[in-house]
């Protein structure tokens, strides 16, 4: 068989500036929406003609922030607490023989403006700037399987953490929400999923974590005396933002 060389047809713009903050599936954080921007020569209105008739899309993308060549035949899925191994092909692990991902997303609007084509999406699970290799419409009668069996991920994962804002963080987020509506809800939804590695979850640590969302740096830590309550300490504009 011949090797296949892929060329990105688009990139996606999202609020997630690093893989640490990205939810593990698209629909876990309602405010984490994205915009796909088609690249030349694929940014023609003709290329998306009729796409607005579909409510959802499949995105085929590259895990471009993952070191290539470092895959193993078994992985430890976060849904199993990072303690059990399954085959890499029985998981959605990012470290794969070929660094390709597949994501189903809601399509809210197709916009063709000033010679550019944008696809406005619902909640996504991709890092900002991720290369997109293909876009396919979701076809309900063929793609939907209401009685499908999903192994260890049959149901949506419960939230793992409770999130509280310090007075300093609450004051900061209220000011920022003038330009970023629902920012507090967005931050809360992201952290509730517990983005830490599975081996750190369920344990107390006084380590201060930082996540980059939009152009903000959000600092948080586990509240003293608990293992499941988070204090959001501060929200600052990134220097580059």
Do 46 and 139 fall into the same domain? yes
Give phi and psi for 114, each to the nearest 5: 50, 40
Query: What's this model's pTM, rounded to 2 decimal places?
Result: 0.91
Do 44 and 116 fall into the same domain? yes
Do 114 and 43 fall into the same domain? yes
The domain tally of the chain equals 2
pLDDT at 215: 92
Q: Work out the number of other CB atoms within 10 angstroms of the CB of residue 27.
A: 15
pLDDT at 30: 94
Do 167 and 132 fall into the same domain? no
pLDDT at 223: 94
Residue 94 lies in a domain: no
pLDDT at 240: 57
pLDDT at 50: 98
Residues 216-226: pLDDT tens digits?
A: 999 999 999 99
Residues 27-63: pLDDT tens digits?
A: 889 999 999 999 999 999 999 999 999 999 999 999 9
Answer whether residue 8 shows pLDDT above 90. Answer: yes
- End-to-end CA separation in angstroms for the chain: 46
Q: State what percent of residues in the chain have pLDDT above 70.
A: 99
Average the pLDDT over 161-168 and give the result.
96
Do 133 and 201 fall into the same domain? no
Do 47 and 133 fall into the same domain? yes
Residue 83 lies in a domain: no
The confidence band for 83, taking pLDDT boundaries of 50, 70 and 90, is confident
80 within 8 A of 152, measured Cβ to Cβ = yes
Do 233 and 129 fall into the same domain? no
CATH code for position 173: 3.30.2310
Do 116 and 231 fall into the same domain? no
Answer whether residue 239 shows pLDDT above 90. Answer: no
Residue 108 lies in a domain: yes
Do 125 and 168 fall into the same domain? no
Beta strands in the chain (DSSP E): 10-13, 33-38, 56-62, 74-75, 86-87, 100-113, 116-123, 131-137, 162-165, 209-213, 216-222, 229-237
pLDDT at 55: 98
Residue 166 lies in a domain: yes
Residue 75 lies in a domain: no
Parallel, antiparallel or unpaired: strands 209-213 and 116-123: unpaired
Do 122 and 229 fall into the same domain? no
Answer whether residue 241 shows pLDDT above 70. Answer: no
CATH code for position 139: 2.40.30.70
H/E element, 190: helix 183-192
Residue 113 lies in a domain: yes
Do 122 and 168 fall into the same domain? no
Average the pLDDT over 82-95 and give the result.
90
Residue 77 lies in a domain: no
Provide the domain limits for residue 224: 162-237
Residues 167-208: pLDDT tens digits?
A: 999 999 999 999 999 999 999 999 999 998 877 888 888 899
């Amino acid at each position: 068989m011949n090797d296949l060389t892929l060329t990105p047809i688009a990139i996606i713009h999202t609020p997630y500036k690093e893989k640490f903050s990205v939810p593990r599936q698209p629909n876990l954080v309602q405010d984490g929406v994205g915009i796909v921007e088609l690249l030349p020569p694929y940014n023609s209105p003709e290329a998306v003609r009729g796409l607005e008739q579909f409510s959802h899309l499949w995105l085929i993308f590259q895990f471009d922030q993952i070191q290539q060549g470092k895959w193993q035949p078994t992985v430890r899925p976060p849904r199993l607490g990072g303690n059990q191994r399954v085959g890499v092909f029985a998981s959605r692990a990012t470290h794969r023989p070929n660094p390709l991902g597949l994501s189903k997303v809601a399509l809210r609007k197709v916009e063709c403006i000033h010679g550019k084509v944008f696809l406005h999406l619902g909640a996504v699970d991709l890092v900002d700037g991720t290369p997109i290799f293909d876009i396919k419409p979701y076809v309900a009668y063929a793609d939907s399987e209401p009685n499908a069996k999903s192994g260890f991920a049959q149901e949506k994962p419960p939230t793992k953490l409770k999130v509280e804002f310090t007075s300093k963080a609450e004051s900061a987020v209220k000011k920022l929400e003038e330009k970023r509506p629902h920012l507090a809800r967005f931050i809360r939804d992201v952290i509730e999923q517990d983005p830490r590695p599975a081996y750190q979850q369920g344990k107390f640590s006084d380590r201060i974590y930082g996540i980059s969302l939009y152009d903000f740096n959000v600092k948080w830590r586990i509240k003293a005396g608990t293992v499941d309550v988070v204090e959001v300490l501060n929200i600052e504009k990134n220097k580059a933002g």
